[in-house]
Amino acid sequence: MRTVWINRENLAGAGSAGEFAAEDMLVASCLSAAAQGEISAYFDLGVAFSTGSHGAPCDLIEAHKWFNLAAVAGHEEAQMCRAEISEEMTAREIAEAQRRAREWLSTSSRRAA
């Protein structure tokens, strides 16, 4: 069963300070799940960074990194999202995103060992 860490229907933001704090926790939860290899968390982090939501800044390099990690693991929607944001990025930005993805994988595999 797929876990959805970020509710993409409510990306427009929250109304109160308490809701903003809860949304910030969603990114923290996704990062924790991503550290455990949760593919859906990779995808949801890509969504957060590509839209600048849930306490994450809009950062296409980070978004590409997370979509790439999910896509490599077989997440089909992440493959489409990665291709879509790549159209808005320079070759240098894409290379940086790929470097960050490799670094994440390297760090994650060392933690697992």
Spans of all domains in the chain: 15-112
d(CA 15, CA 65): 29
Per-residue pLDDT band at 4 (split at 50, 70, 90): very low
Q: Is the dihedral of CA 105, 111, 112, 113 positive or negative?
A: positive
Tell me: the pLDDT tens digits for 5-29?
444 443 344 444 455 566 667 889 9
d(CA 68, CA 11): 21
What pTM does this model have? 0.78
Indicate the range of 21-25, 43-47, 68-72, 101-105 predicted with least confidence.
21-25
Asked whether the predicted pLDDT for residue 1 surpasses 70, the reply is no
Asked whether the predicted pLDDT for residue 43 surpasses 80, the reply is yes
